[in-house]
């Protein structure tokens, strides 16, 4: 938690006022048993109604002052806790957004969601409770012992024995609960992972009639979480009976010892009642302290998980000195003996070299897992090459600021992703100030205007993930989104796989006609027909480049490309090939 204390720097006033008012509340609470003693010893004994009413008014006044102090402390502690959580959540989201694909692959989506929601909530609750109870509970215990000695030192020895005994019980219970709560946090991650996978893959699950199996798997994970939480609950449940047994035994001992002293006149009845009240206050304060320790332990476990995310830094480093406006000299894209591997895996790309001039189209084709997506992800620097260089307009991509490099590149990912809002909102991701005319032009090139106009035009609502559009429509909208920004380089990562051949052909023709000599296109596809008209075709096989040239050249020289073409062409085309 110490590393996260910096998120309270804007709430220094609140972190001082909240504990201070809790101490004031505890001080008023410590005075009430003395008032009670006065009422018993003087008011009731002397049947002095005026005195009883006077002391009763004092007691009510102390209670009201304590309530005001408590509400004030609660307000400032809640304000500091909520501010702490807000700033921490904002920084963590920004940090996650800055991580490269490599770190996101390693951490996983489900655990990041759990840490930015549940773990930050636990840390926020810990901060709130610490500000309210960290000073109050020890102060109340120590104050009750001191007040007991001021009332009667001969009976106060019972308090000296009582406090360590209660503390030992509380320590034993919390020490047993701490590792169990940590185990529960990791099992909560698994439940969240199962939930996310089932919600994201609900169509696949139903297509294969796997509902019962997935429900059984989810139940198993939930049962493990429930058993862990029940175990912690059962151990925690021992605290109240154990502490109350000790406190009641101490009260019996106090009454036994104090009863004789009352008869002998050593202490008064009011003083004995005050001692019993102080004993009860110690019990309540220690139980509250135990709850604080358990909550703080859970918060500390969550803080450790949060710090793990902050400790995970991106392996993509921005240049110390960014470029001005590059002169756009040299080829549009150059791969110079590039090697690339994912963390902990063998090379996904080996010794890739090619050059692509401005305005040319490069078709990238190969079998599944041959490294096509890995290759195009290196151009906008979503990953860094292990060896070799990648140049854009004659400049190494590592010399660009991230924002400058990616403004030049339009990316259409393999999986079409749309965001909740309107079509216009989604299109303006490509260019924030794009006019409706620019958006409509991009929609026309992407073959998307027809179905957009058939709905409500640019004001058509897009549901979460674009689920109210078909797969082909989503792909065309993502292509239009990339085209709105008039990118220098357009990367299409198998982004027309859901389109029929006629629509795909019209799309490629429209892109070629409207971006000729202006936009360099990297087109990844499984279809030979989609890349055959490209200026250059790169053939990948198991991470290696086995062919580079035109369609006709590769048919003659590259066996892998010829095999792909022959597997997809009809009999007439095969004879021509």
pLDDT of 19-57, one tens digit each?
999 999 999 988 888 888 888 888 888 888 888 899 899
Residue 27 maps to a domain: yes
Residues 6+ apart with CB under 8 A from 351: 337, 338, 339, 388, 544, 545
Residue 577 has pLDDT above 60, yes or no: no
Taken in order 246, 249, 253, 258, the sign of the CA dihedral is: positive
Tokens of 162: 């009582």
Instruction: Look at the chain and report how many structural domains it folds into.
Output: 1
Residue 255 maps to a domain: yes
**Contact in structure between 436 and 458 (CB atoms under 8 Å):** yes
Distance CA 259, CA 286 (A): 27
What is the DSSP pairing of strand 461-462 with strand 421-422? antiparallel
Rounded average pLDDT over 467-473: 88
Residue 500 maps to a domain: no
Residue 273 maps to a domain: yes
Give the domain CATH number at 56.
1.20.1560.10
Q: What percentage of the chain carries pLDDT values higher than 90?
A: 29
pLDDT tens readout for residues 218-241: 899 899 989 988 988 888 788 778
Residue 128 maps to a domain: yes
Residue 421 maps to a domain: no
Tokens of 217: 């798997």
Q: What are phi and psi of 549, to 5 degrees?
A: 165, -160
Residue 325's pLDDT band, with cuts at 50, 70 and 90, is low
Strand partners, 338: 352
Average pLDDT score, the chain: 86
Residue 213 maps to a domain: no
Strand partners, 411: 491
pLDDT tens readout for residues 366-411: 888 889 999 999 999 988 898 999 999 888 998 888 888 888 899 9
CA nearest to 217, candidates 196, 200, 194: 194
Distance CA 100, CA 110 (A): 17
pLDDT tens readout for residues 515-533: 767 789 999 988 888 888 8
Residue range of the domain that includes 135: 2-182+232-311
Residue 572 has pLDDT above 80, yes or no: no
Residue 143 maps to a domain: yes
């Amino acid at each position: 938690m110490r590393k996260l204390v910096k998120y309270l720097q804007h709430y220094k006033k609140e972190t001082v006022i909240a504990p201070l008012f809790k101490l004031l509340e505890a001080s008023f609470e410590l005075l009430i048993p003395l008032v009670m003693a006065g009422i018993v010893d003087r008011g009731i004994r002397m049947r002095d109604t005026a005195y009883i009413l006077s002391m009763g008014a004092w007691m009510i006044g102390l209670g009201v002052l304590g309530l005001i102090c408590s509400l004030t402390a609660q307000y400032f502690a809640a304000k500091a806790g909520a501010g702490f959580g807000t700033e921490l959540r904002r920084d963590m989201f920004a940090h996650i957004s800055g991580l490269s694909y490599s770190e996101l692959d390693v951490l996983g989506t489900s655990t990041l969601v759990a840490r930015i929601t549940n773990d930050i909530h636990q840390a926020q609750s810990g901060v709130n409770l610490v500000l309210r109870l960290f000073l109050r509970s020890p102060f109340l215990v120590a104050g009750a012992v001191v007040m007991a000695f001021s009332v009667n030192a001969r009976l106060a020895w019972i308090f000296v024995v009582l406090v360590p005994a209660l503390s030992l019980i509380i320590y034993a219970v919390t020490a047993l609960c701490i590792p169990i709560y940590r185990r529960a946090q990791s099992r909560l991650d698994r439940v969240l992972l199962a939930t996310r996978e089932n919600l994201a893959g609900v169509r696949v699950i139903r297509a294969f009639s796997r509902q019962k199996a997935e429900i059984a798997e989810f139940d198993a994970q939930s049962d493990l979480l429930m058993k862990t939480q029940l175990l912690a609950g059962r151990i925690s449940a021992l605290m109240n009976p154990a502490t109350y047994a000790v406190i009641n035994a101490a009260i019996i001992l106090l009454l036994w010892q104090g009863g004789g002293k009352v008869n002998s006149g050593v202490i008064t009845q009011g003083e004995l009642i005050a001692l019993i009240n102080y004993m009860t206050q110690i019990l309540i304060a220690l139980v509250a302290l135990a709850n604080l320790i358990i909550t703080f332990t859970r918060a500390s476990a969550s803080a450790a998980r949060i710090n793990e995310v902050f400790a995970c830094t991106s392996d993509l480093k921005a240049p110390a000195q960014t470029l001005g406006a590059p002169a756009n000299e040299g080829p549009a894209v150059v791969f110079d003996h590039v090697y690339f591997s994912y963390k902990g895996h063998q090379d996904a790309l080996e010794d890739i070299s090619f050059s692509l001039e401005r305005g040319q189209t490069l078709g990238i084709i190969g079998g599944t897992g041959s490294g096509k997506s890995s290759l195009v992800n290196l151009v906008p620097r979503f990953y860094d090459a292990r060896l070799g260089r990648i140049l854009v307009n004659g400049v190494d991509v590592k010399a660009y600021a991230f924002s400058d490099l990616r403004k030049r590149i339009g990316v259409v990912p393999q999986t079409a992703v749309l965001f909740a809002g309107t079509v216009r909102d989604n299109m303006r991701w490509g260019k924030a100030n794009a006019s409706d005319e620019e958006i409509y032009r991009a929609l026309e090139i992407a073959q998307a205007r027809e179905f957009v106009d058939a709905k409500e035009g640019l004001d058509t609502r897009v549901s979460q993930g674009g689920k109210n559009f078909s797969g082909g429509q989503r792909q065309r909208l993502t292509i239009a989104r990339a085209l709105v920004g008039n990118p220098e380089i357009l990367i299409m990562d198998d982004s027309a796989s859901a389109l029929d051949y006629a629509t795909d052909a019209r799309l490629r023709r429209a892109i070629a006609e409207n971006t000729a000599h202006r936009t360099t296109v990297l087109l990844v596809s499984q279809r030979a027909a989609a890349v055959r008209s490209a200026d250059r075709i790169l053939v990948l096989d198991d991470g290696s480049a086995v062919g580079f040239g035109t369609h006709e050249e590769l048919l003659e020289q590259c066996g892998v490309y010829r095999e792909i073409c022959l597997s997809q062409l009809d009999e007439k085309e095969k004879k021509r090939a």
